[in-house]
Amino acid sequence: MPAAHQIDINHVARLARLTLTEDEAARYAAQIDGILSYIDTLTRYDLGSVEPTAHAMPVYDVIRADEARPGLAQEQALSNAPKRSADQFQIPKVIE
């Protein structure tokens, strides 16, 4: 790894409470070196005129019109209730 990329993989693993074998530590060190080298490649470009974005492609929300629709009648809503009490669902007590 170049000097600017020196990361102590074992120290990071201890912080994350991970136990790594020597092979895993070497593999992760190589992967991090590749990632940091790619970032170095990106820093060579002048991106001052590029507007920051959250996504590479535009994201559009598909929103349907908010229209009132008929709902269930009370008897229909309660038709499959395992227990009822005074035209309401009866459920077990969950707070003591």
Can you list the domains of the chain with their CATH numbers?
A: 3-43 (1.10.20)
How confident is the model over 47-85, as pLDDT tens digits? 888 888 888 888 888 888 889 999 999 889 999 889 988
Residue type, 10: N
3 pLDDT higher than 80:
no
Confidence of residue 93 (pLDDT cuts 50, 70, 90): confident
Q: What is the largest CA-CA distance in the chain?
A: 74
Q: Are 28 and 20 in contact (CB under 8 A)?
A: yes
The number of C-alpha atoms within 13 Å of 6 and in the hemisphere containing its C-beta is 2
Q: What is residue 1's predicted lDDT score, i.e. its pLDDT?
A: 46
The structure's pTM equals 0.46
Higher model confidence: residue 12 or residue 2? 12
How confident is the model over 30-47, as pLDDT tens digits? 999 999 999 888 888 888
Residue carrying the six token digits 């991106």: 47
CA angle 14, 19, 24 (to 5 degrees): 110
The number of C-alpha atoms within 13 Å of 9 and in the hemisphere containing its C-beta is 16
